[in-house]
Amino acid sequence: MMNSREYALQANGSFALPDACFKIKALMEDENSAISDFADVISVDPSMTSRLLQIANSAIYRFPGEISTISRAITVIGTQAIYNMMLVDVAASAFKHFANQAIDLKRFWRMSIYCGLVTKNLAIKAGIKDIERLFVAGLLQNFGELLVAKISPEIAQRCEQYNRDNLPWDLQQLALGFTYTDISAELLKIWQLPEKIIIPIRHFNQAQSNQINKDVKVLNLASRLALLDSHGDEFDYDVVIDQSLCKSLGLSKDDIHQVAEIAAEDAVGILTVMNPKLFSR
């Protein structure tokens, strides 16, 4: 039986970060780098330029005016957000080229985008700063499911048979000895992502602990809301959502419902941009 790191290591070849991601990361760590340096790296790849501008103008960022150049995107959004968008693009590419029928890809993709949006918007309401990292954490927290579906499709199929008596995370633990989020955390570590993105993914199933930070609690709530969004007929809000977590974050039931509604609306547009074949209107 493989452990979570072995899944991540085996998967890294299929879902490798492009060189541009590492170049952007190196520029972020170089205090002498200029906006033009970032634009030079990205503009070499026309398809990446196009996709990043699409994402910059999508509901993820909700800017009032159109962003038409990479330099403008970097100026308005910042280098960290540009890097995060490149990660989103990698995820989208991985989903698009995935031919395996072991899991419901449409459900997986919808839950991933929705979870990212909810994580970001809950963080805003909870007064958390530096929220861009939380969109990425929400988006990629369940990436491990894609990897298990590719490497061990029969296990992925078993884990997809969740219901109100057998929550997804419980089935994963039974089948693998760990959860999909454990694999996601290992892969993001291989990708050299910041610890601030990895920590909530690694610990979000322990969110009830008093020692756990707000990021972890927000991601826990977002993952449960994503489950409700895709399977509202199967799961009940009061059973899935931990009210003590909401209370510790200062979030009311109205806050949660408002965030859920906005994410459901925004997800439609983003899904169409990211994967038009799967989500054409």
Domains along the sequence of the chain with CATH: 4-274 (1.10.3210.10)
- List the end-to-end C-alpha distance of the chain, in Å, as a whole number: 41
- Residue whose tokens read 């699409």: 54
Burial 133-151 (b: 16+ CB within 10 A, else e): bbbbbbbbbbbbbbbbbbb
CB 135 within 8 A of CB 117: yes
- Say how many C-beta atoms besides its own lie within 10 A of residue 205's C-beta: 18
- Amino acid symbol at 177: G
- Residue whose tokens read 């960022």: 61
The two tokens of residue 83 are 């890097």
Burial degree of 71 (CB within 10 A; 0-12, 13-18, 19+): middle
Strand, helix or coil at 163? strand
Which pLDDT does position 141 carry in this prediction?
A: 92
The 8-class DSSP code of residue 127 comes to T
**DSSP H stretches of helix in 17-131:** 19-28, 35-43, 46-56, 70-77, 79-96, 105-125
Which pLDDT does position 277 carry in this prediction?
A: 66
User: Cα separation of 86 and 51, whole Å?
Assistant: 9
Which pLDDT does position 275 carry in this prediction?
A: 64
User: Cα separation of 130 and 39, whole Å?
Assistant: 23
CB 12 within 8 A of CB 190: yes
User: Cα separation of 277 and 235, whole Å?
Assistant: 29
Burial degree of 59 (CB within 10 A; 0-12, 13-18, 19+): middle
For residue 186, what is the enclosing H or E element? helix 180-190
pTM passes above 0.85: no
User: Cα separation of 209 and 70, whole Å?
Assistant: 42
User: What does pLDDT average to in each consecutive run of 10 residues of the chain (281 residues)?
Assistant: 89 70 86 90 81 76 81 81 74 66 85 91 90 86 90 92 90 95 92 86 77 86 94 86 90 93 85 66 49
CB 264 within 8 A of CB 229: yes
